[in-house]
Structure 1
């Protein structure tokens, strides 16, 4: 692999992350109705109506005043980027705890349900989609295409709410919320692991259903396209068995375009878990982002945006770097 190309791709990824963070930060900090100004204006109204407020809560007032940028926007943005590169994402507006500590507690939960659901939906989806494409035009293909099209049109929060109502509240098969039972002490014990898996079933199932339809329909389209290639027609003329054509000649080549989508989806899914985690009261990044938006907790909001931005850009970079390992044609080029 060309070293110059590698250096260029890493620099592009790094600059993309930096520029995107600066734009996101500027839109939040310098908007006319920014959260910091809104909080500070409310505190000043309280201070005007209650003179003792400024004396009692002087440190809190100074804390929020420091959050509002006062200097040159370029210098302010550079200072913020320097702080981010040192791992300092600021203090949470509500709890005044380090944002990095809050994210560190929530991120593993989101990675767990997102990665598990993506892996399950990907492998099941490509297998079903491959069969649909190979059996194109049959009743099986038409029925499954209609089913997955309808499934894909159902919003994530609707399917999650339905599953929660039926399996959680009505049938009581699975818990209605949380990451584990409050009666169990967290740790590397069998009881804790079983409780975590049990509570994660509904969030994972919801995300799996949301992703399954997309993988199946994409794989079906890729399979149909691959079936029209000359090497497939030549294999059929030679009398190669259908099963071998389906797996070796068609399946391996049809799955290649989906590899990039899979890697990129990991980054996007971290931000896309907001509705699922809120519905099931799951303590992940999505739940924290919902909390931050509804409470004008913009330092936490910005910290989560940084995680999502980094995950997406790194996902694209990994897809570029590893695609040649599974496709020799790209490696030769």
Structure 2
């Protein structure tokens, strides 16, 4: 219980730090968001309009110690302000429209990479020196050395432009209305193949190599030798004794890898014009939409922290030694 309370306290502290940085960064930059927007758009506004914009963005020139409590209150109540590029839509509504697509892309990619990578690592370590162990790790690590967006552009050109096997852009075809209809679900799955494939190919090598190395060390433990001496079947020893204990480091890595998956998904979404958080973040940067940028940054940070907290709670269940720490 003490371990869980310590981890919750740590993540609450990290979330507070991220909120504070999110508050300070626009205020530490030269000038203010309103001035930079007006200089880029070359529009002339009345002083009352400029003051209203500054008030809406929370940068009305007051002392930070007066603005900070109000900013904390608004963030904790889910009020990120109004999006400038999609005025007058609230930032929370914009994020709510885009976040499910990023969760779909990142979640599907992560599950496939973790399951397939760990399974390949287990088989490679159990049959050490075999064909799978000799060929797959270096090949997948070589593919994983390419950036997400480079592989995404290559897959888009080969399978989308040249062969025409997959859609080129967006999350579903134009003219379809989002629903739980099998036709719409199938169309979404078809649009998901290439973006997810590019992320899986880049990340699966690391999962396989990590599981392989851990599994090799686990195979040398005394309880594996005892299981073999008892005459248990090789498949049972591999899965129930070896893989079960070798999975613990992989569970920890899942939480840390979520940040990398989300980062890769951001670039992949831009390549495929996938309507997720990454594509919306690019539009917010191009449109100098500071409330939306702050809301997106904080949402991504909160999602990564929450995922790591859930992983820690699962780890307590899987490893009894942590409970007495």
TM-score scaled by length of structure 2: 0.91
Report the Cα distance in structure 2 between the residues aligned to 1:156 and 1:34, rounded to whole angstroms.
34
The 8 Å contact of residues 281 and 287 in structure 1, kept in 2 or not, is answered as yes
Q: Which residue of 1 aligns with 2:216?
A: 224
Q: Which residue of 1 aligns with 2:86?
A: 95
Once the two structures are superposed, the pairs formed by residues 61-140 of structure 1 within 5 Å of their partners are 61-66=50-55, 67=57, 68-96=59-87, 97-140=89-132
Report the Cα distance in structure 2 between the residues aligned to 1:153 and 1:271, rounded to whole angstroms.
15
Aligned length: 322
How far 1:33 moved relative to its partner?
A: 5.5
Residues 1:42 and 1:121: Cα distance change in structure 2 (over 3 Å): closer
CA displacement 1:117-154 (0-9 Å, x = unmatched): 11111111111011112222334312112101101101
Q: Say which SS state the counterpart of residue 245 (structure 2) adopts.
A: helix
Residues 1:201 and 1:70: Cα distance change in structure 2 (over 3 Å): same
Q: Which residue of 1 aligns with 2:13?
A: 15
How far 1:26 moved relative to its partner?
A: 0.6
Match of 1:246 among 238, 244, 248: 238
How far 1:8 moved relative to its partner?
A: 4.2
The 8 Å contact of residues 92 and 299 in structure 1, kept in 2 or not, is answered as yes
How far 1:32 moved relative to its partner?
A: 1.6
Match of 1:155 among 143, 147, 152: 147
How far 1:34 moved relative to its partner?
A: 5.1
Which ranges in structure 1 are unaligned for 5 or more consecutive residues? 48-52
Once the two structures are superposed, the pairs formed by residues 123-202 of structure 1 within 5 Å of their partners are 123-202=115-194
TM-score scaled by length of structure 1: 0.89
How far 1:321 moved relative to its partner?
A: 1.7
Residue 204 in structure 1 maps to residue 193 in structure 2: no
How far 1:75 moved relative to its partner?
A: 2.4
Report the Cα distance in structure 2 between the residues aligned to 1:15 and 1:201, rounded to whole angstroms.
38
Q: Say which SS state the counterpart of residue 288 (structure 1) adopts.
A: helix
How far 1:221 moved relative to its partner?
A: 1.1
Q: Say which SS state the counterpart of residue 46 (structure 2) adopts.
A: helix
Q: Which residue of 2 aligns with 1:39?
A: 37
Report the Cα distance in structure 1 between the residues aligned to 2:218 and 2:66, rounded to whole angstroms.
53
How far 1:332 moved relative to its partner?
A: 5.1
Which ranges in structure 2 are unaligned for 5 or more consecutive residues? none
Q: Which residue of 1 aligns with 2:28?
A: 30
Report the Cα distance in structure 2 between the residues aligned to 1:85 and 1:149, rounded to whole angstroms.
42
Report the Cα distance in structure 2 between the residues aligned to 1:35 and 1:255, rounded to whole angstroms.
47
Residues 1:13 and 1:233: Cα distance change in structure 2 (over 3 Å): same
Q: Which residue of 2 aligns with 1:50?
A: none
Residues 1:236 and 1:188: Cα distance change in structure 2 (over 3 Å): closer
Q: Which residue of 1 aligns with 2:289?
A: 297
Report the Cα distance in structure 2 between the residues aligned to 1:121 and 1:42, rounded to whole angstroms.
43
